[in-house]
Amino acid sequence: MKDINSIAIEVVMKSGDGRVKIDEALDALALGDLAKADALLKEAGDLVVQAHNAQTEVIQSQVGGENMEYSLLFIHAQDTLMTINTELRMAKKLLPIVKMLLAKKEAE
């Protein structure tokens, strides 16, 4: 397995890239571009899954008995991943709401 701090950096970077996609998706939502928002949220989801998989590699290694040094950076990476995953979930919940509001506006 790679060094725990290298994995932590990977988790932070993938999560951060996911956040950028979420922000872009929310901007697209604000403009009413639902297709673009949906595509960007899918990209964000893929990045969050990659970050989660890297985190899981560390957890599974520890469960398997591998000794690892304590890493404040890894804890920060986990916190970052959880926060961005929550942002992704909330952005995904907004998509159908905005769709409904736009349909209502067009029907007026």
Q: Of 60, 59, 64, 47, nearest to 11 (Cα)?
A: 47
Is the alpha carbon torsion for 11, 13, 19, 21 positive or negative? negative
Which positions are catalytic?
Answer: 76
Buried b (16+ CB within 10 A) or exposed e, 68-83: eeebeebeebbebbee
